[in-house]
Chains A and B, each alone.
Chain A
Amino acid sequence: MLGSIKHKEDSPLHSSLPSKGGGSLWSDGWTRLKRNKLAIVSLVILIFFCITALLTPIIAPYGYEEQDLLLGASPPSLDHWLGTDIFGRDMLTRIMYGSRVSLAVGFIASAVAVFIGVLWGTIAGYSGGKIDSFMMRTVDILYALPFMIFIILLMVIFGRNILLLFLAIGAVEWLTMARIVRGQVLSLKQQDFVEAAISLGLSHWTIIHRHLVPNVLSPVIVYTTLTIPSVMLLEAFLSFLGLGIQPPESSWGLLISYGVETMEEYPWLIIFPGLFLSVTLFSLNFLGDGLRDALDPRASKD
């Protein structure tokens, strides 16, 4: 393009004032994130849930299997803050144990998805040409497959194996991450500094890890934060249908499915697990949105 390139920095909003904090994009991002009260609250909530989940065996008020058949289902009380189920088991305890599974599935399956997706997307985007074509066509084809149905099929046929669950869920979610990463890598390749790196004679590996990866990190972080709720939802969905986590383990999805059965008489059995699941999903989404605004300086909504 000839003549002066119009950049956002030419606009009056940017030219006169330097960016506050004057640091790396990470510290700038953290400063921006702090301003987003909702995101910070979400972060705190999530950290709290995670710590509780980890410490559950130590801090849970009752035993996991502890039944009180005389008591049966009872509404929230001083003894049982969130009530009990039809076997007299303490709901707070069950929800805490459930959180361990739900959060674990969420994080682990997301980690799998992110790992595969980033690898796939980076290689495809960087290689370009035929390799890129082939890799992305594969993604397109897999994307077109009705995964939900396949997972259900797998669960039915091979039984309900937690490992299988992780893999199946991870296998669905990596596609979106691959697409996003590839898109980012492609647009980065257009940037002159990548050509400059090539012109300096840097090796492919150096270019990838010094120049591409740090710049791809922000969208990856953002989308990982948004993948986790998606994964948790999927697990909850499968568990609800009876195809996911099996007793004696429990997850929030399973607890909700139990709660549906006795919804009329004992509404707290569905409301509380539902509440915890929703709040977690909320927090993850708000945090993800907040991270997106904080880490991508161009995505600001002035």
Chain B
Amino acid sequence: MFYFTLNRLLQSIPVLLIVITATFFLVRAAPGGPFSAEKNVPPEVVRALEAQYNLDQSIWQQYTSYIGDLLHGDFGPSFRYPGRTVNELIAAGLPVTGELALYAMLLAVLIGASAGIYAGLRPNSLHDYLPMSISMVGICIPSFLMGPLLVLFFGIYMEWLPISGWGSSPGDKILPTLTLGLGYAAFIARLSRGGILEVMTKDYIRTAKAKGLPVKVIVLKHALRGGLIPVVAFLGPAFAGLLSGSFVVETIFQIPGLGRFYVQAAFNRDYTMILGTTIFFATLIILFNLLSDVIAVWLDPKLRQQYRSDK
């Protein structure tokens, strides 16, 4: 298990390198960017940039020194906010986005899996059609539509919940979490329904029933393990999706999170910020995918053994 994780970790490094390199050169190649003599740059920033990036050196030297800085965890100064570094901005936005993503993920998994399992155990009945139709709605209404609709209804007409901010008024975390998480809850509901349905047709479930085990035991102990595998596999991509979903949600609800900073940076042409946040996000996503892979192997005794016997 250990060597498998190590192996995967090391395989991630070239991927990360590709991301960093591609982003670096893309940013450099941007027409009208800071690195190609733009005029509207405040002089302090130019000085900071030149100091940081040694712009008179060859591009390869700039690249290697950037990598060097990265290894020290230094993302460089912000291009648009003089005097502030990218690190500061990331540090400010991360906890907010992290909390939002966490809540959304929990919502998605708990509600989605329960609904899906419930539906999957009573296939082709009302208990199946109703949750699955509702989940179809969740999948087909994108977050940037869902958000405003929720705001319209709960915030403006009913006036039950606040419609902006994070942590400034009680209950203001509810709508953003719902907006971000409901779509994923819907998808997970479908995945778990499919997974449970497939597992229940397996021979070993028939054996469990033939042994006279109570239904609760059959479902919780025997069926869940195999049935939820598609959900576990989805967690990695789900996380990546949640991060990108946060761009929209934070914009709609005016949440000072990393996602919103990223979108603003994109509009403001804050190149160092874009570069830094892209790399940061990419690293997170790669790590999470790795975690999801490792968990998937750990859950399956056949695979676990295959990788254990490498020693």
Identify the stretch in B53-61, B111-119, B142-150 within 8 Å (CB) of chain A at 4 or more residues. Answer: B142-150
From 249 to 266 in chain A, residues with beta carbon under 8 angstroms from any chain B beta carbon are 253, 256-257, 259-260, 263-264
Report B86 CB to chain A, min CB distance, Å.
15
Alpha-carbon gap, A278 to B143, bound state (A): 11
User: Known contacts A148-B240, A242-B267: does B139 contact A256 (CB below 8 Å)?
Assistant: no
Alpha-carbon gap, A240 to B148, bound state (A): 12
Complex contact B140–A282 (CB within 8 A) = yes
Alpha-carbon gap, A144 to B8, bound state (A): 12
Q: Does B102 lie at the interface of the complex (its beta carbon under 8 Å from any beta carbon of A)? A: no
Report A302 CB to chain B, min CB distance, Å.
9
Kindly report which residue of chain B lies nearest to residue A154, judged by CB atoms: B26
Contacts of A301 in B (CB 8 A): 123-124, 197
Size class of the contact patch on chain A: 35 or more
Kindly report which residue of chain B lies nearest to residue A260, judged by CB atoms: B148
| Binary CB contact string for chain A from 79 to 104 against chain B (1 if under 8 A, 0 otherwise) | 00000000000000000000000000
From 16 to 33 in chain B, residues with beta carbon under 8 angstroms from any chain A beta carbon are 18-19, 22-23, 26-27, 29-31, 33
User: Known contacts A153-B23, A157-B27, A241-B248: does B144 contact A257 (CB below 8 Å)?
Assistant: yes
Complex contact A260–B23 (CB within 8 A) = no
Q: Choose among A146, A157, A263, A282 the residue that contacts B281 (Cβ–Cβ < 8 A).
A: A146
User: Known contacts A152-B266, A153-B26, A157-B30: does B251 contact A241 (CB below 8 Å)?
Assistant: yes
| Binary CB contact string for chain A from 130 to 169 against chain B (1 if under 8 A, 0 otherwise) | 0000000000010011101110111111110000000000
From 233 to 280 in chain A, residues with beta carbon under 8 angstroms from any chain B beta carbon are 233, 236-237, 240-243, 253, 256-257, 259-260, 263-264, 267, 270-271, 274, 277-278
Kindly report which residue of chain A lies nearest to residue B14, judged by CB atoms: A141
Q: Does B62 lie at the interface of the complex (its beta carbon under 8 Å from any beta carbon of A)? A: no
From 257 to 311 in chain B, residues with beta carbon under 8 angstroms from any chain A beta carbon are 262-263, 266-267, 269, 274, 278, 281-282, 285-286, 289
Q: Does A281 lie at the interface of the complex (its beta carbon under 8 Å from any beta carbon of B)? A: yes
Q: Does B46 lie at the interface of the complex (its beta carbon under 8 Å from any beta carbon of A)? A: no
Complex contact B144–A240 (CB within 8 A) = yes
Contacts of B144 in A (CB 8 A): 236-237, 240, 253, 256-257, 260
Complex contact A256–B248 (CB within 8 A) = no
Alpha-carbon gap, A254 to B127, bound state (A): 37
Complex contact B247–A241 (CB within 8 A) = yes
User: Known contacts A141-B15, A285-B136: does B244 contact A274 (CB below 8 Å)?
Assistant: no
Q: Does B92 lie at the interface of the complex (its beta carbon under 8 Å from any beta carbon of A)? A: no
Contacts of A144 in B (CB 8 A): 12, 15, 285-286, 289
Report A289 CB to chain B, min CB distance, Å.
9
Q: Does B91 lie at the interface of the complex (its beta carbon under 8 Å from any beta carbon of A)? A: no
Q: Choose among B15, B139, B241, B267 the residue that contacts A285 (Cβ–Cβ < 8 A).
A: B139
Q: Does A229 lie at the interface of the complex (its beta carbon under 8 Å from any beta carbon of B)? A: yes
Given contacts A153-B274, A263-B151, A277-B142, 14 further A-B contacts (CB under 8 A): A141-B15, A141-B18, A144-B15, A146-B19, A146-B240, A146-B282, A157-B31, A157-B33, A237-B144, A256-B145, A257-B144, A259-B148, A260-B144, A281-B141
22 sample A-B contacts, Cβ–Cβ < 8 Å, listed by A number: A141-B15, A146-B281, A146-B285, A148-B243, A149-B282, A152-B266, A156-B274, A157-B26, A157-B29, A159-B31, A236-B142, A237-B248, A241-B247, A241-B251, A264-B156, A277-B142, A278-B145, A281-B141, A282-B137, A285-B139, A286-B136, A301-B197
* Closest 4 pairs (CB-CB, A-B): A148-B244, A281-B140, A157-B30, A274-B145
